[in-house]
Structure 1
Amino acid sequence: MINTIRILSAHKKRIVVSTFTVAVLTAALTFVIPKTYTATAKILPPQQDQGVFGMMMAQVGGLASLAGDVLGNGTSGDTCVGFLQSDTISDRIIDRFALAKVYETDTRADARRALEEHVSIQLGKKDGLVSVSVEDRSPARAAAIANAYIEELSSLTAAVSSSGASSERAFMQRRLEETRRKLQGAEEALKAFQQRNGVIKPDSQMEASIQTLAMLKAQLTDAEVKLAMARKTFRDSEPEVREAKAAVSKLQAQIDSRQNSKGGGAIPNFGGAPEVGQEYIRLMREFKTQEAVFEALTKQFEISQVSETKDFAKIQVVQKATVPDKKTGPRRASITLAAFFATFFISSLWFVMKARFQRLPGEKRDEIVELAASLRRW
């Protein structure tokens, strides 16, 4: 330590001169660097469930968290950030402001990288706001690009949501029409049976069993629809789909148990019932089942129609980017101080290492010189 101080003291003049020379030159160069300005826009991501998927999932206890995760409760901010960082929006911004020419790039990929270097997109951990900060030599262009990001995000989310809602509505409409045909067929078959054999009045236990089984099958159809919706968003290996599949399997097991039961309030054993009674129970069960399924699908179809016409994924602008009147770069003081301390450290280390090198035995110095020469050749 004492030797180091002695070495630095012996070369203090050179160290001071080199340090201040580099600092002054650096300070002068910072005045040549063009000024840059930063404009920031902030938005509040959607805070409520959007679309038919979320509205339907909200009705299911076991899958209630799924709608929130997908449509705005907790991860809508991350979704907005992902959209903002996508190539789709980047390309729109590049074309809109001719940034390939501004950044002097030859390819689309280079233009994207240059844009990424000038834009900062962050999600606030405490307030949940998404901020878009753009740095540019032109203050007006910085503000325009920041606001354009928000406009493109609103356009993209609206297009995605509308497309998804239309697909969901079409899917529900097909299921509803299919069930309508089955309900009409079941009703006509039951009427034809009653015209041939008269009206049969089942006992209260049998009627309750038929009604219960019909409700279970309606719930099964509802669960199958939700599983189909989940598979449009998640992979089969993800927990949301596994939970939906488990709900379907559980309901199917309950239905199978009731259909195979020979007592305990379930459908009676048809093998021991008169042939006419068996036929009536089968027709009545089919009619009640299709009636319950049709009612459930009608409600879901109405939800899908409302979702298709509603205002999807409303982006709330908390802070619109304004033209900045104060530069954010270059930070001359920080750059000059960094150059000052870096030069002082490097020059001090140089003189210390040089003095220690000179104190080494001749053989050691020769080995180091040869090593340095070989490294330069390599």
Structure 2
Amino acid sequence: MSLQSCQRLWSNRVALAKGTAVGLVLAGVVAAILPNVYRSSIRLLPSVRVTKPSPSDADLELFAGILQSRTVADRVIDELQLKARYRTDTYDEARRRLAANTRVTVEHDSGSVRIEVEDHKAQEAAALARAYVEQLERVAHDITGLEAHSQASFLQQRVAASATDSKDDARKLSEFAGQHSIVDLEAQEQTNIRMLNSLRQARWALERQVKQLSELYGPDNDRIRSLQAQIASLGGQALRIAGDPKTGEGATMERFSPPSGRMLASLEPELSDLSRNEIQHDQVAQSLEIERDLVHIQESAQPSPVFVLDQAEIAETKSWPPRIPLTLFGGVFGFLSVIGWMLAAPSLAVQVSPARWRTALSSFSNNLHRLSGRATRTPRNVC
């Protein structure tokens, strides 16, 4: 800048001061007219943080997507009656206004999601942030509840199938036991052993009597023949219990008597398989019922899928507009505007006296008055 330009600016210092003052006043008025904007923020952590070292990026993006979804926006609009506040009748306009005042940020370093909401009232900004969290929890509960319900339905089907298999195995075991007159394998074996021992003892006693009577009366005695017949009967019973296939009356007695020891030994593998299958299916059904009950308990008492790290607080100070910087910017703009006008139009940048300023202002006001008078004059009718 040359010395002549500096002298010219110095000579017009009054105009510079007036331009700066006008810029300060206008910027101050605009800054005062602008409404205050308050910001409320809230930080969320997905509940997977409890079971994992840190939530994955997919979990964070899922929560951010839910927060920015149309479902959450419509629920927030209905809950806080934002259409009436925004003076609109359509959801599209209300969603647009809400999205313009809301910012969702995914913080990958800390593994959290931040929600920032702006409004002209501090209480409303905090209420909007809390409403977002409430609707996020509801949508997440709906998603997890649907998964739990599907899992419970699947387990219920498995329980019904296992119960049917267990009933079929029990029926087969009952039919098999009925066909072979089996009540309890171990108890029946012990019963057979006791019966054999008693038959042997009775046979030994009868044989001693036959020996004694034979020494006294000889082998042709009727009493001896009766005792020998009893001994033969006891032997046949012992053979049937022991499982000898060559029995005298076994063909008719086997239908009404319990199986022999040899038959029990041959039936034991098949009986064990049937019993094992019944026990296994019953255990599977019981474990599935326990798992189903646990799923129902988790479904009825689901933990919150969101952990609120930083609650939404009512802002004590405005976030916008910065009135002092705006006012100072207006003053600087006015000062620079006058300087630019003086340097760009040297012919106009002469000594501007107060008289010239008054003459220019009066001429401008007179022209403005004449224009306003013409505008308010009643037009003539044209035939």
Report the TM-score, using the length of structure 2 for normalisation.
0.50
**In structure 2, how many angstroms separate the alpha carbons of the residues matched to 1:45 and 1:22?**
54
Deviates more, 1:34-43 or 1:331-340: 331-340
- Checking the alignment, whether the CA contact within 8 Å between 1:172 and 1:304 is kept in structure 2 is no
Aligned length: 248
- Checking the alignment, whether the CA contact within 8 Å between 1:46 and 1:76 is kept in structure 2 is no
**In structure 2, how many angstroms separate the alpha carbons of the residues matched to 1:122 and 1:311?**
26
3-state SS of the aligned residue for 2:33? coil
1:200 Cα deviation from its structure 2 partner: 10
Post-superposition CA distance 1:238-272 (Å, at most 9, x none): xxxxxxxxxxxxxxxxxxxxxxxxxxxxxxxxxxx
1:114 Cα deviation from its structure 2 partner: 0.7
- Give the corresponding residue for 1:33: 34
**In structure 1, how many angstroms separate the alpha carbons of the residues matched to 2:174 and 2:52?**
46
**In structure 2, how many angstroms separate the alpha carbons of the residues matched to 1:306 and 1:72?**
25
Amino acid at match of 1:110: E
- Checking the alignment, whether the CA contact within 8 Å between 1:41 and 1:146 is kept in structure 2 is yes
- Checking the alignment, whether the CA contact within 8 Å between 2:60 and 2:106 is kept in structure 1 is yes
1:190 Cα deviation from its structure 2 partner: 3.1
- Give the corresponding residue for 2:126: 143
- Select which of 280, 301, 304 maps to 1:310: 301
Post-superposition CA distance 1:60-88 (Å, at most 9, x none): xxxxxxx979x966644433333322222
In the superposition, relative to structure 1, how do residues 337 and 163 fare at CA in structure 2: closer, same or farther (>3 Å)? Answer: farther
**In structure 1, how many angstroms separate the alpha carbons of the residues matched to 2:37 and 2:301?**
42
- Select which of 70, 74, 79 maps to 1:87: 70
- Checking the alignment, whether the CA contact within 8 Å between 1:48 and 1:73 is kept in structure 2 is no
Matches within 5 A, 1:247-286: none
1:180 Cα deviation from its structure 2 partner: 0.4
- Select which of 168, 190, 193 maps to 2:176: 193
- Select which of 89, 92, 96 maps to 1:109: 92
- Give the corresponding residue for 1:131: 114
- Checking the alignment, whether the CA contact within 8 Å between 1:45 and 1:316 is kept in structure 2 is yes
- Give the corresponding residue for 2:312: 321
Larger Rg: 2
- Checking the alignment, whether the CA contact within 8 Å between 1:37 and 1:327 is kept in structure 2 is yes
- Give the corresponding residue for 2:363: none
Runs of 5+ consecutive residues of structure 1 not aligned to the other structure: 50-66, 202-275, 353-378
**In structure 1, how many angstroms separate the alpha carbons of the residues matched to 2:166 and 2:22?**
88
1:300 Cα deviation from its structure 2 partner: 2.6
**In structure 1, how many angstroms separate the alpha carbons of the residues matched to 2:52 and 2:309?**
22
1:175 Cα deviation from its structure 2 partner: 2.0
In the superposition, relative to structure 1, how do residues 103 and 307 fare at CA in structure 2: closer, same or farther (>3 Å)? Answer: same
Post-superposition CA distance 1:300-352 (Å, at most 9, x none): 323313312323335333322222121111245676899979xx9xx99xx99
**In structure 1, how many angstroms separate the alpha carbons of the residues matched to 2:178 and 2:48?**
57
Report the TM-score, using the length of structure 1 for normalisation.
0.51
Amino acid at match of 1:40: S
**In structure 1, how many angstroms separate the alpha carbons of the residues matched to 2:282 and 2:62?**
40
In the superposition, relative to structure 1, how do residues 195 and 327 fare at CA in structure 2: closer, same or farther (>3 Å)? Answer: same
- Checking the alignment, whether the CA contact within 8 Å between 1:44 and 1:315 is kept in structure 2 is yes
**In structure 2, how many angstroms separate the alpha carbons of the residues matched to 1:95 and 1:137?**
19
**In structure 1, how many angstroms separate the alpha carbons of the residues matched to 2:317 and 2:106?**
24
1:290 Cα deviation from its structure 2 partner: 3.2
Amino acid at match of 1:170: S
CA RMSD of aligned residues (A): 4.7
1:122 Cα deviation from its structure 2 partner: 2.1
- Give the corresponding residue for 2:165: 182
- Checking the alignment, whether the CA contact within 8 Å between 1:161 and 1:313 is kept in structure 2 is no
- Give the corresponding residue for 2:358: none
**In structure 2, how many angstroms separate the alpha carbons of the residues matched to 1:285 and 1:121?**
59
Runs of 5+ consecutive residues of structure 2 not aligned to the other structure: 10-15, 187-266, 345-383
Amino acid at match of 2:292: F
3-state SS of the aligned residue for 1:44? strand
In the superposition, relative to structure 1, how do residues 98 and 325 fare at CA in structure 2: closer, same or farther (>3 Å)? Answer: same
**In structure 2, how many angstroms separate the alpha carbons of the residues matched to 1:78 and 1:336?**
41
1:283 Cα deviation from its structure 2 partner: 5.3
- Checking the alignment, whether the CA contact within 8 Å between 1:37 and 1:135 is kept in structure 2 is yes
In the superposition, relative to structure 1, how do residues 100 and 92 fare at CA in structure 2: closer, same or farther (>3 Å)? Answer: same
3-state SS of the aligned residue for 2:74? helix
3-state SS of the aligned residue for 2:130? helix
**In structure 1, how many angstroms separate the alpha carbons of the residues matched to 2:274 and 2:62?**
49
1:287 Cα deviation from its structure 2 partner: 4.3
In the superposition, relative to structure 1, how do residues 320 and 299 fare at CA in structure 2: closer, same or farther (>3 Å)? Answer: same
